Amino acid sequence: MAAGLACLVLPLALQVYGPAYAGAAKMKVVEEPNTFGLNNPFLPQTSRLQPKRDPSPVSGPAHLFRLSGKCFSLVESTYKYEFCPFHNVTQHEQTFRWNAYSGILGIWHEWEITNNTFRGMWMRDGDSCHSRSRQSKVELTCGKSNRLAHVSEPSTCVYALTFETPLVCHPHSLLVYPALPMALQQRWDQVEQDLADELITPQGYEKLLRTLFEDAGYLKTPEESESTQQEGGAQGLVFENLESCNKAHKELSKEIKRLKSVLTEHGIPYTRPVETSSSEHLGSKTPTGRTAEQLRGNPGLLGNTL
Ligand SMILES: *[C@@H]1O[C@H](CO)[C@@H](O)[C@H](O)[C@H]1NC(C)=O
Ligand SMILES: *[C@@H]1O[C@H](CO)[C@@H](O)[C@H](O)[C@H]1NC(C)=O
C-alpha cells in the first residue's frame, strides 16, 4: 500500500515542480551578463554598443598586424575591459543586473609617435562623456605573452591601458623608419639631409616628419580627426566651445572675402548662390563650366589663383 502511494506521489511532485525547475534552468542565462547586455534581441537597438565610426585602417609595424581581429580582456573590480588592437576598447560592467553597463572607450584612430618610435595606440570617439568622447591610449610594452595588464583613468573619460606582448621586446620593434615604405624612407632621408644642410629649421623638420607620418597613415591630419568627430557627433557637437566656433567663423569670412576679391580682380562676375539643397549645389555644372570657359582664355589666371 505504501509503495503504491509513493508511485502516485512522485509523478504528482514532478508535475508540480517541473515548470519551476525549467524556470531555474533558464535563469542561468543571467550568468553571462555581457551576452545578456550585448546580444539580447529584446533590448532596444539604442542600448547596445554602437560605434560612432569605423576604425582606421591597420597601420604601423607589420609584425603587429597579426594582433588585428583578436581581443584581450582584463577584469578589474567590477569591470571587464576588452582591448581589440586596431579596432576598439570596450568596458563591460560585471553584474547580474539586467541593465549592466557596457560602453565603448575608444575606436582605433592613430599612433602616438615620439622620438621616431611608436609609443602607443590612440583609440578615440568612444561613447559620449559629458560633451566629449571617451578615449583610450594603449601603451605597448614587452611581456612574456599577449596580455592586457593594466587599466586606469588618469583623467575623466581618458583611459590608459598597458598591453604586454612579446612582439615589442626587440629594441627595434617599434621604430618608425623601418616600418615605412621605401618611397617615404627616401623622403625622410631627404628631410635629414635638408636639416643637416640647414635648409630647414628644427621646427620645419618636425613639421615635415609629421606630414610624412600622416602620409604613411600613422597619424591623422587635424581635418580627418575633426571630420570623424563631426560624423560621430551624435550630440551634434562640432566645436569644442564657442570660442573655437567664433574663430572658425572669422577665418571662413576672411576666406570668402579673399575669394571675392580674387574674382573681382579678374572681372569674374559672381552672385550669392540661391538656396539649393547641398546635393544640387555639389552637382551644379554651371559655375565650373563657366569658370573653365573663362580660364581657357587666360591660362595665367589658373596659376595665379589656384
Ligand atoms: C570591437 O572589435 C572586435 C574585434 O575586431 C569586434 O568583433 C567587435 O564587434 C568590436 N566592437 C564594437 C562595439 O565595435
Ligand atoms: C630617442 O631614441 C634614441 C635612440 O632610438 C635614444 O638614444 C634617446 O635617448 C631617445 N630620446 C628620448 C628623449 O627618449
Domains contained in the chain, CATH given: 47-175 (2.70.130.10), 180-220 (no CATH)
275 CA to centre of own chain: 35
Q: So what's the pLDDT on residue 126?
A: 95
* pLDDT score, position 241: 66
Q: Please identify, by atom number, the ligand 1 atom nearest to the C-alpha of residue 68.
A: 5
Q: Is the pLDDT of residue 106 over 90?
A: yes
Distance from residue 102's CA to the centre of ligand 1 (Å): 13
Q: How far, in Å, is the centroid of ligand 1 from the Cα of 14?
A: 45
Write down the pLDDT at residue 261.
Answer: 81
pLDDT of residue 264: 80
Look at 304 and 103; give whichever has higher pLDDT. Answer: 103
Q: Whose CA is nearest to atom 4 of ligand 1?
A: 69
* pLDDT over 50 (residue 34): no
Using a pLDDT cut of 90, give the percent of the chain over it.
Answer: 50
Beta strands 158-165 and 135-142 are parallel
What separation in angstroms does the CA of 166 have from each of 141, 170, 276?
A: 8, 8, 57
The residue contributing the CA closest to ligand 1 atom 13 is 49
How many angstroms is it from 115 CA to the middle of ligand 2? Answer: 6
pLDDT at 188 over 80: yes
pLDDT on residue 258: 79
Whole-number pLDDT of residue 228: 52
Q: What is the pLDDT of residue 141?
A: 97
Average pLDDT, the chain: 77
Atom of ligand 1 nearest to the CA of 82: 1
Name the residue with cell 617615404.
Answer: 184
Mean pLDDT of 31-41: 45
DSSP 155: E
Going from the Cα of 54 to the center of ligand 1, the distance in angstroms, rounded, reads 10
Residue nearest to atom 10 of ligand 1 (CA): 88
CA 199 to ligand 1 center in whole angstroms: 47
CA-CA distance, 92 to 37, in Å (whole number)?
9
Task: Give the model's pLDDT for residue 145.
Answer: 97
Q: 18: Cβ below 6 Å to ligand 1?
A: no
User: Tell me: the pLDDT tens digits for 120-171?
Assistant: 999 999 999 988 999 999 999 999 999 999 999 999 999 999 999 999 999 9
- Mutate-to-test residue for ligand 1 from 87, 121, 127, highest number of ligand atoms within 8 A of CB: 87
Mean pLDDT of the 74-103 span: 92
Mean pLDDT of 97-102: 83
pLDDT digits over 263-275, tens only?
787 777 776 654 4
CB 87 near ligand 1, within 6 Å: yes
Per-residue pLDDT, 285: 42
At residue 227, the pLDDT reads 52
Q: Ligand 1 in contact with 137 (CB < 6 A)?
A: no
Residue type, position 163, single letter: F
> What is the grid cell recorded at 22?
525549467
Under 8 Å between Cβ of 58 and 68: yes
Lowest mean pLDDT among 5-14, 131-140, 169-178: 5-14
Lowest mean pLDDT among 51-65, 106-120, 246-260: 246-260
Q: Say yes or no: CB of residue 84 within 6 Å of ligand 1.
A: yes
> Do residues 148 and 163 lie in contact, with contact meaning Cβ atoms separated by under 8 Å?
yes
Evaluate: CB of 104 within 6 angstroms of ligand 1. Answer: yes
